[in-house]
Amino acid sequence: MKIVILDSYTVNPGDLSWDALKKIGDLTIYERSDNHNPQEIIERIGDAEIVLTNKTSVKRDIIEATANLKLICVMATGYNVVDLEAAKEKGIIVCNVPTYSTQMVAQHALSLLLELTSHVGKHSEGVHAGKWSKATDFCYWDYPVIELAGKTAGIIGFGRIGQRMAALLQALGMNILTVSGHSGKSSDIKYEAVSLAELYRRSDVISLHCPLTEDNKKMINAESISLMKDGAFLINTARGALIDEEALAAALKSGKLAGAGLDVLSKEQPPFDNPLFGLDNCLITPHIAWSAQTCRARIIEITLENIKAYLHNEPINVVSK
């Protein structure tokens, strides 16, 4: 049985092992594949029965050109890189990895917020540059340090990651709001479910943890920002297209919003002229909230479980079959 990994590098740049997969079948590994060259992808898949992909697209033209493909394993939670309808038409099972980075994504979201409110990195840079040594007083601060206790956080998307973020913020003494009708259940978190508009109006911090759909694309826009508190903070570790970046840039420049912490952008890799680049009150990390070695090891472990379950005719984590 032939197994092909189309883009191994992001999940495993060399600090993990593919040995368990090699024991299952004849494994071919490509570090990267060109999404702009479907013929290359078709040739790499060849007559493989199982294909693993992280961000390499397996679209209709590729699926229709394969002769022996039976299982596509997406080494991520999001599976929009695969044409599910085309896969279903050919009887190809598509599996994903639904839960592997809950703790880490919430941790990263919190780290963005803490840097925006405590400015640890900025002040450390200043100290290393000699500013403390030259200070007139025993301390100094270039940015306002903000206490989060007693403030209100609005969590949009109350699944596993949203609930974990809520728990972390609650531990800091924050009050938690979620959106009515879209909230998960948690006996460990005290929260109030409100309308989306009320969440915008009442939140000092808004953190996005929802999947991207056609209905919520650019949900953070000029209109929704106008409802927000002056000086509110926005955190996004979900999907970049949830935000109208031009509108966010305008709000950050005007001071309507005090700051934003983003791990995702609408286009990845982003063009050099992204309107958020260069704004001092906008932290941007390169979609790395999921990337801890422990998280990537789980991706490989769960993908291996997906393959074993398929081989036993009991597929799991199926998004299309």
Q: CATH number for the domain including 41?
A: 3.40.50.720
Q: How far is CA 230 from CA 115, 234, 256, in A?
A: 19, 12, 5
Closest CA to 298 of 15, 50, 11, 79: 11
Instruction: Please tell me whether residues 114 and 262 are part of one structural domain.
Output: yes
Q: How far is CA 314 from CA 53, 234, 246, 309, in A?
A: 21, 42, 47, 5
Instruction: Please tell me whether residues 148 and 79 are part of one structural domain.
Output: no
Taking only the tens of pLDDT, the chain with its 321 residues reads 999 999 999 999 999 999 999 999 999 999 999 999 999 999 999 999 999 999 999 999 999 999 999 999 999 988 889 999 999 999 999 999 988 999 999 999 999 999 999 999 999 999 999 999 999 999 999 999 999 999 999 999 999 999 999 999 999 999 999 998 765 566 688 999 999 999 999 999 999 999 888 899 999 999 999 999 999 999 999 999 999 999 999 999 999 999 999 999 999 999 999 999 999 999 999 999 999 999 999 999 999 999 999 999 999 999 976
Q: Is the pTM of this model over 0.75?
A: yes
Q: How confident is the model at residue 78, as a pLDDT?
A: 85
Q: How confident is the model at residue 124, as a pLDDT?
A: 96
Q: How confident is the model at residue 184, as a pLDDT?
A: 57
Which is catalytic among the residues 31, 64, 147, 268? 268
Which is catalytic among the residues 287, 296, 305, 312? 287
* CA atoms in the 13 A half-sphere facing the CB of 283: 26
Instruction: Please tell me whether residues 110 and 182 are part of one structural domain.
Output: yes
Instruction: Please tell me whether residues 263 and 304 are part of one structural domain.
Output: no
- Total domains present in the chain: 2
287 is catalytic: yes
Instruction: Give 261-311 as a 3 state SS string.
Output: EECCCCCCCCCCCCCCCCCCCEEECCCCCCCCHHHHHHHHHHHHHHHHHHH
Instruction: Please tell me whether residues 138 and 236 are part of one structural domain.
Output: yes
Instruction: Please tell me whether residues 156 and 271 are part of one structural domain.
Output: yes
Q: How confident is the model at residue 18, as a pLDDT?
A: 97
239 is catalytic: yes
Which is catalytic among the residues 239, 246, 305, 314? 239
Residue 148 DSSP label? -
Residue type for 312, please? H
Instruction: Please tell me whether residues 307 and 186 are part of one structural domain.
Output: no
123 is catalytic: no
Domain range spanning residue 111? Answer: 102-284
Instruction: Please tell me whether residues 274 and 198 are part of one structural domain.
Output: yes
Instruction: Please tell me whether residues 94 and 139 are part of one structural domain.
Output: no
Instruction: Please tell me whether residues 77 and 192 are part of one structural domain.
Output: no
Instruction: Please tell me whether residues 57 and 134 are part of one structural domain.
Output: no
Instruction: Please tell me whether residues 113 and 238 are part of one structural domain.
Output: yes
